[in-house]
Structure 1
Amino acid sequence: MQTLRIALVFCVAAGASSALFARDLSKNERDLCTWGAGVAATAQQYKLAGLTLYGARNKMQARHFPQQWMRMSALGITEQTYDSASRMRPEGVKQVYYEGCTRHELARR
């Protein structure tokens, strides 16, 4: 029971710290992380559905991106997702990517 309580406290603290990180970022930085997390989740969804990397790249190429740099970034994120052996659900990938991105943006400062 004590172990469960400690684990619960750790999870709450981790969630609070990631929310704290997000507050320190600018809106543009948060939007960038949210966009990348969405791309990673989509790529993971394609991967779990059995779509090949070639097929996923074609689907990403067919999407409309408001900025020119987004297409190449989306393809890079897709390739990294496919290179991973993870079978995590897309929602989990989205959360992990967002948290890593926010940590990276904060460390860059």
Structure 2
Amino acid sequence: MRVSIWIAAAMVLAAVSLEAQAKALTANQQSVCHWGSDIAAGAQASKLSGVSLYGARKKLQVRKFPRPWMRMTALGITEQTYNSASRLKPAAVKQTYYEQCVRHELARR
């Protein structure tokens, strides 16, 4: 019981720390991380529901993106997600992608 309390406390502290780090990013950087995490979660949901990589790529090809770089990036994120052996739920993939994106952006500084 005590171990689970410590684990929960550590997770809360990690979330608060990540939130503070995310605020150090520009609004554009935060937006890109959120967008990428949404793409990764959608790809994971498609993968878990049995949609082929070909089918997921076709959906992205017809989707309208506001920026020219977004289509190729979305295709890359989708392919990486499909190549992963992960069976995590889409929400967990979304959270993990966002956390790693924030860390990456902060490390670039």
**In which range does the TM-score fall when normalised by the shorter chain?**
over 0.9
Any residues of structure 2 matched to 1:79-90 within 5 Å, and which? 79-90=79-90
Query: Identity rate of aligned residues, in percent?
Result: 54
Q: What 5-or-longer segments of structure 2 have no aligned partner? A: none
| 1:3 match | 3
Please give the TM-score of this superposition, normalised by the length of structure 1: 0.97
Deviation track 1:49-75 (CA, whole Å, cap 9, x = no partner) reads: 101111110011111001111000000
Give the Å deviation of 1:5. Answer: 2.1
Q: What secondary structure is seen at the aligned counterpart in 1 of 2:47?
A: helix
Q: Unpaired segments of 5 or more residues in structure 1?
A: none
Residues 1-109 of structure 1 aligned to structure 2 (within 5 Å): 1-109=1-109
Query: C-alpha distance in 2, partners of 1:4/1:74?
Result: 37
CA RMSD of aligned residues (A): 0.7
State the TM-score, normalizing by the size of structure 2: 0.97
Number of residue pairs matched by the alignment: 109
SS where residue 51 of structure 2 aligns?
coil
